[in-house]
Chains A and B, each alone.
Chain A
Amino acid sequence: MTGPGVGMALILPQVEELPHVVEPTIVWVAVAYFAVVTLIGAWATRQTRTAGDFFAAGKGIGLVALTLSVMSATLSGFAFIGGPGLVYSIGLGAMFIVLPAALTNAMGAWVLAKRLRLMAEVRRTITLPDVIGARYRSPLAQGLAGVAILVAVIGYMATNILALGLVIDAVFGIGLAWGIWLGMGITMAYAVGGGIVAGIYTDVFQGSLMAVASVLVFLFTLQAGGGLGGISTTILEQDPGFLGPWGHLTPIAALSFFFVFGMGSLGQPHVVHKFFMLRDPLKLRWYPLLTTTALIVSMLLYFGVGVAVKSLELQGEMAPLANPDDATPLFLLGYTPLILAALVFSGVAAAIMSTVNSFMNIGAAAMMHDIPVSLGRRVNNELLWGRICTVIISVAAALLAQHSGMLVALLGVFGWGLFASTLVPAVAIGMNWEGATRAGAVASISTGLGITLVFETLAFFGFYSFPVGVTVSGLSLVLSILVFFGVSHLTRDTAEATLDPDIRVVMKA
């Protein structure tokens, strides 16, 4: 697992069939879960009357809602299925994806939260491309960022909807195609009706479910493996590299995960755009502490199941897994009470749906708002067009998930890295550095977009791969940062002209 293919491809949601777990308890808990989500969606639809409600939760949200929605949007189904499978496959190296979590929320709060919230006050911005357009007085930069977001969103959504279809098929046994359309239909129904309001409040429910399920499953992993010491002793005897600091990855590959998921967190629009919505900005004070706690708690399952299943396999209590993504389902069915397994399967669906919902909203905003604005156009009825664009994006992503075969995996690879390399320099650094220029922003966004699309595609089709340990996402992020600084330096005489006085006040706040 140390070859050039080790990279973002490993952090896709599962794209292979899961073991079927059709049991009455699991089915009824899942039905109850979907019923609650539907009720929340119906309530949110009644609250959504304007485009401001739809895209920016009009009256704003509270601290708990912000915390749980950020946590839910951050964790896709990967945290419950693909992640434990990755730990099972490559050992501790997989933890470098989640390791920066202790830093990223506070980093995001210092770098972006206050300034984005103030931008919403001063310019009524609702998207990160809005912020880029305002910061650099540049429709071109706003449009490029909108295109990058739309490409990444479609890819992310397609892979997540495929994963949702697999989970629903595993629980209800209705087949993948029905699973995809049922899952997408429910998510789309509340996303179209209630917009981000529905997303936020279903996230609150879904995030709570994920956190509780994660803690309970972690306790069962310790019990099954004989405590953490017992798990470690078993693994060290037969596969010491598994618990080496990088697992079965090279150091550079593991460190790339830390870099991309650490610094890259500043460019994830489905997470940071929630900063626009906080009702009382003074409540930001507790946001990093609460969100980090929630994330760490929710990650216990990720680590616990991965190492416990490896230990059980080495003890001969479990057969080697044909598909690493089976780690969580098989552990749940074999070592936890059925009701807990049922909760986790609903939790997986919850995690995927909350992420998909966030993507639907920002994708619709890019399509309806950012790209037209960059072309000098603006739609008249933003609420109606927001809903129409949500449907278009959702159906396109579901069709891709169902019919595109391996293309869906390629699209999924783009996600996180594309967001990171196109948005971190222009937004995160640009909102904190008055010397940044429009040319620097356009060049860095273009660099991130170009490198990610070209080299991920070449690697996917086997034409060219970077050397062992070098990930496209890591390299494109560091190069886009350097290009941003380099071009801004070369064009520094224009910095003053690309910064409006009110934006300067926000940046200095």
Chain B
Amino acid sequence: MKRVALGAIVGSALLIGAAYATAFLPGGTPEWAPWLFVTGMSVMMVATMAMGAARNDRIGRLVIPFALVLVILLGGFWLVLALPPADPTDPSLWLGLPPRAAIVLYGIGFLPFLLVPVGYAVTFHEQTLGPGDLERIRDEALAARGTMPLSDRPGRGLMDDDGEGTGEGRR
């Protein structure tokens, strides 16, 4: 899973980079450049979430919210790019906004809120941290580190309050 997510991040960064590069072409940004940008950006954000959420190289039930968010972002942005501008003489409003503005604010801006933070909470114990995990992981990490003093390692945080640096965890 993580390899797929990392590959998707690289691919989407290339798409975004290509979209930016088109702006340097003679004649300015072509009409298809925003399509590259929204595709790359949507994929990158979902792939980054998947990369972070993967545990034992699996994302489990999170595949559902991630897939839905990808559909919302890609579908929303593509719709916004494809739909014609609102007709000022006969404005139809969706929940008080012109259609394309409504897609941006309610769809892209709000709908993921109903999926992503809820998905995080629902799958927290299986996908992020369960009871006892913290102590287990800390013990495994301390065991893996062996006997080398923490003060000899780059990135070691604060000295202990007595200035000695025992390196035995934060508290």
| Interface positions of A (Cβ within 8 A of B) | 50-52, 55-56, 59-60, 92, 95, 98-103, 105-107, 109-112, 114, 118, 120-127, 129-139, 142, 227-229, 231-233, 236-237, 240, 243-245, 250-252, 255, 258-259, 262-263, 266, 281-282, 284-286, 288-289, 292-293, 296, 303, 369, 373, 378, 380, 382, 428-429, 432-433, 435, 466-470, 474-475, 478-479, 481-482, 485, 500-506, 509
Contact = CB atoms under 8 A, between A and B. Distances in A.
Nearest to B80: A245
A228 B69 CA distance: 26
Nearest to B137: A509
A456 B37 CA distance: 22
Given A118-B141, A284-B129, A251 B34 contact: yes
B49 interface: yes
- For the complex, would chain B's binding face be called helix, strand, loop or mixed by DSSP majority? helix
Contacts of A50: 161
A125 B6 contact: no
A257 B100 CA distance: 18
B96 A429 contact: no
B158 A52 contact: yes
29 contacts: A99-B109, A102-B110, A103-B49, A103-B112, A109-B120, A110-B53, A111-B48, A118-B134, A121-B141, A121-B169, A124-B156, A137-B153, A233-B91, A237-B88, A250-B29, A251-B33, A251-B37, A252-B33, A266-B48, A285-B128, A288-B121, A289-B118, A429-B51, A432-B2, A467-B29, A481-B9, A501-B146, A505-B141, A506-B141
Nearest to A105: B117
B145 A501 contact: yes
Given A110-B49, A255-B38, A263 B44 contact: yes
B138 A255 contact: no
Contacts of B93: 229, 232-233
Contacts of A125: 155-157
Nearest to A258: B41
Given A121-B169, A130-B155, A263-B48, A475 B6 contact: no
A50 B111 CA distance: 44
A110 to B, nearest CB: 3
Nearest to A475: B20
A132 B155 CA distance: 7
Contact of B2 (A138, A433, A467, A482): A433
A231 B96 CA distance: 8
A496 to B, nearest CB: 14
A448 to B, nearest CB: 13
Nearest to A471: B20
A110 B118 CA distance: 13
Nearest to B99: A245
Contacts of B44: 259, 263
A103 B72 CA distance: 12
- In order of increasing CB-CB distance, the 4 nearest A-B pairs are A134-B155, A133-B155, A228-B96, A111-B52
A282 B130 CA distance: 7
B88 A505 contact: no
B146 to A, nearest CB: 7
B45 to A, nearest CB: 6
A96 B34 CA distance: 14
Interface of B: 2, 6, 9-10, 13-14, 16-17, 19-20, 23-24, 28-29, 33-34, 37-38, 41, 44-45, 48-49, 51-55, 69, 80-81, 85-86, 88, 91, 93, 95-98, 100-101, 103-105, 108-113, 116-121, 124-125, 128-129, 131, 133-134, 137-138, 140-142, 144-146, 150, 153-161, 163, 167, 169-171
A133 B154 contact: yes
A345 B16 CA distance: 39
A229 B96 contact: yes
Contacts of A502: 141-142, 144-145
A120 B113 contact: no
Given A124-B158, A252-B20, A227 B100 contact: no
B119 A106 contact: yes
Given A95-B104, A109-B120, A252-B33, A130 B156 contact: yes
A120 B101 contact: no
A482 B13 contact: yes
A351 B94 CA distance: 33
A52 B53 CA distance: 29
A267 B112 CA distance: 21
A232 B85 contact: no
A289 B117 contact: yes
A123 B157 contact: yes
A112 to B, nearest CB: 7
Contacts of A114: 128-129
Contact of B37 (A121, A135, A252, A468): A252
Nearest to A503: B141
Contacts of A233: 91, 93
Given A133-B156, A233-B93, 5 more contacts: A105-B117, A245-B104, A250-B29, A296-B110, A429-B9
A500 B37 CA distance: 37
A293 to B, nearest CB: 8
A124 B52 contact: no
A148 B76 CA distance: 36
Q: Which of A132, A138, A501 has the most CB of B within 10 A?
A: A501
A137 B51 contact: no
A447 B142 CA distance: 34
Contacts of A130: 155-157
